[in-house]
Amino acid sequence: MKIIDHLLSTLNFETEVRDIRQGPFQTAVFTRYCGLASTPHESGEHHAKSPVEDACNLIEKTAADLAKMAYSSSPNEASIGMAAINSLIEIDERQCLQLNAGDLLMEKGKGKKVAIVGHFPFISKLRQSAGELWVLELHPRPGDYAADEADRLIPQADVIGITGTAFTNHTIEHLLELCRPDAYVVILGGTAPLSAVLFDYGVDAVSGTRVVDPEKVLNCVSQGATFRQIQGISLLTMKLGRS
């Protein structure tokens, strides 16, 4: 997992762990800043094996230990790791725009072949502007394609949007390898790290989240908020080459 290795190498772990919350839809870690990641929605029985092995003692871990949970094969643990990474990134807002990922993808994908990994709320609008749209999902809705169609469809796309949860399920590197060198690639969603590191891996833009009010965010996560219900965040986009 070269990208996670690279992300971790850029972080300063000299900070306390203040809080950790994992709700049914969102995970938040508060270290130097507050970071978010999507909580995976797994079906099945969790009584035999907990999704988070050391759930009652996480607050005693170091920021570095939490961030390294991004490597975990448990999706719930990996989401804590990604939230911790996002809580440690020094976001340079001078390199960011207040630009919604959906608007960026509609601009870049007008009349072109577009592949989106993940079903986002803007899909219906994007379908109207794109020349052709393929939405890849683990649990496809009507009109979507199964996730295992990625190897066939992504190499055909001119514009590609990849959900940040690809870091959590460890598919990010494979998905990026499928993208053509001339394709425009966007990583998006609450899990997406707003780090220039991603530009070294063929990414052209990152549309992520900066927490501006940690108390509001932690309360929302604890009360079962979905990403669209979270209060106290700013949606930012970082583009390759923006000074």
pLDDT digits (tens, 9 = 90+) for 189-233: 999 999 999 999 999 999 999 999 999 999 999 999 999 999 999
The model's pLDDT over 150-182, given as tens digits with 9 standing for 90+, comes to 999 999 999 999 999 999 999 999 999 999 999
Determine the pLDDT at residue 49. 61
pTM: 0.93
Portions of the chain given CATH number 3.30.390.100: 2-91
Work out the angle between the directed axes of helices 2-9 and 75-88 (0-180°, nearest 10): 30
Q: Which of 104, 130, 134 is nearest to 206 (CA)?
A: 104
Determine the pLDDT at residue 46. 43
* DSSP SS3 for 133: strand
* Arithmetic mean of pLDDT, 47-74: 87
Angle at 68 between CA 10 and CA 189, to 5 degrees: 75
- Binning pLDDT at 50, 70 and 90, where does residue 55 land? confident
Measured CA distances, 10 to 64, 87, 109 (Å) = 12, 13, 32
Fold classification of 2-91 (topology level): Enolase-like; domain 1 (3.30.390)
| One CATH from 3.30.1490.120, 1.10.287.110, 3.30.200.20, 3.40.50.11590 for 94-239 | 3.40.50.11590
Mean pLDDT taken over the chain = 93
